[in-house]
Amino acid sequence: MSAETMTLRERIEKERIVKSTAQPRTLKQLARNPKSINTSLAIQRNLRWEEDQKSALIESVLLGYPIPAVYSIKSDDNVTWILDGKQRLTTFISYLNNEWALEEIPPVFGVDISGKKFSELPEEFQEILEDHNIVFYQFERLTTDQRDQLFKRLNSGTPLSNIELTRSILGTELLDWINNVVGKPFFHLVPFTEKQVDKYVHQEVVLQMIGVIKEKFDSLGGKKLQELALDLRINSVPEELKQTIEDITDFLGQAFKEYEEKDRKKILKKNDIVGLVGAAKYAIENGIDATQFGERTGSLILKPSGAYKATKGAGTAGADKVRKRIEVLIETLIQ
């Protein structure tokens, strides 16, 4: 029966999201079987809580304050995939497994527990934590799109950064492909800091690569990048474009693999990569060897000409400067 032939009541019954009855689990159960949950859905944000936030959560349970429910999906392999509650669950499980100590917090019922791991707490406090119930709501018939939308709506009360919002727009399928691209050797050569990876800068670079290949040079940052992500979500990424991105990534990996780390740090900066992508597309189309490409473009970036320097500074990610940067890099290949 198609959607067109259904009554409204039938369509609601078939398509409306339905969650299961609340299912409590004790922290003791979760800590003893952490593999029963999975927090690695591609759309999930990285762990962001600081030590004081984690300590405040433990303190809240001890004092009896309510803890929000967890929203999840039950998979065929009996593992619970977490949609909302990742920070809380990982905090609880790691603390009950003695992996960290509390920050300085006020005495709890007259007892100073600052600096203590779980095993060092009074027995009464250990029992409170172990017996504390976390309420799980599970969804069992979500499509991928519904799952991504649910994550976005559950997190609407916590402002997402630009790239986090962009990731929520992209959805799981595209993020899985992007994760495959950033797993290639080239991205291991790029000197991303731990903080940049935590903020998904490497994934943002892949989106910018797409923008360059599609010649949408005004779509490489902020809300414009979100518009590009929405276009990709609606219209998908053609297999030909995916292959082009992967070929360019492999080409760049080959081009810069012989450089010393100190030189790669100077060559493979985010804004330079954007230019290199456009130049690499030209090089591949014109049969230029990857090693030759790396030598010539790398030398230019290490000792930039006046024309290349002019593409940096204020507005370095602007469309005109990106175009010019690509032109200058291509010129060094054909001289």
Give backbone dihedrals phi and psi of 311, rounded to 5 degrees, phi first.
-90, 0
Instruction: With beta carbons less than 8 A apart as the criterion, state whether 311 and 321 touch.
Output: yes
Tens-of-pLDDT digits for all 335 residues of the chain? 566 678 888 887 777 776 666 788 899 999 998 888 887 766 666 667 788 889 989 999 999 988 888 888 776 667 788 888 888 899 999 999 999 999 988 889 999 999 999 999 999 999 999 999 998 888 776 777 777 777 777 766 555 677 777 887 787 888 999 999 999 999 999 999 888 888 889 999 999 999 999 988 787 877 788 888 878 887 888 999 999 999 999 999 999 999 999 999 999 998 899 999 999 999 999 999 999 999 999 999 999 999 999 988 777 778 888 999 999 999 999 87
pLDDT at 125: 95
> Which neighbouring-strand residues pair with 74?
80
pTM exceeds 0.85, yes or no: no
pLDDT at 1: 57
pLDDT in tens, 141-154: 677 777 777 777 77
Residue 15 half-sphere exposure, CB side, CA atoms within 13 Å? Answer: 12
Q: What is the C-alpha separation between 229 and 245, in angstroms, rounded?
A: 15
**157-193 as b/e: b if 16+ CB within 10 A:** eeeeeebbbbbbbbbbebbebbeebbeeebbebbebe
Give pLDDT tens digits for 174-194.
899 999 999 999 999 999 988
Q: 26 with 130: CB under 8 angstroms?
A: yes
**145 close to 171: Cβ distance less than 8 angstroms:** yes
Strand partners, 37: 80
Q: How far apart are CA 141 and CA 322, in angstroms?
A: 45
Residue with tokens 């303190």: 59
User: What are the residue ranges spanned by the domains of the chain?
Assistant: 3-154, 162-334
Cα distances (Å, whole numbers) of residue 134 to 32, 62, 69, 70, 123? 14, 14, 6, 7, 20
| pLDDT at residue 281, as a whole number | 95
Q: How many CB atoms lie within 10 A of CB 311?
A: 23
Task: Report how far apart, in Å, the C-alpha atoms of 304 and of each of 298, 310, 324 are.
Answer: 9, 10, 13
- Tell me what pLDDT residue 92 has: 94
State residue 276's pLDDT score.
96
Residues 117 and 101: beta-carbon distance below 8 Å: yes
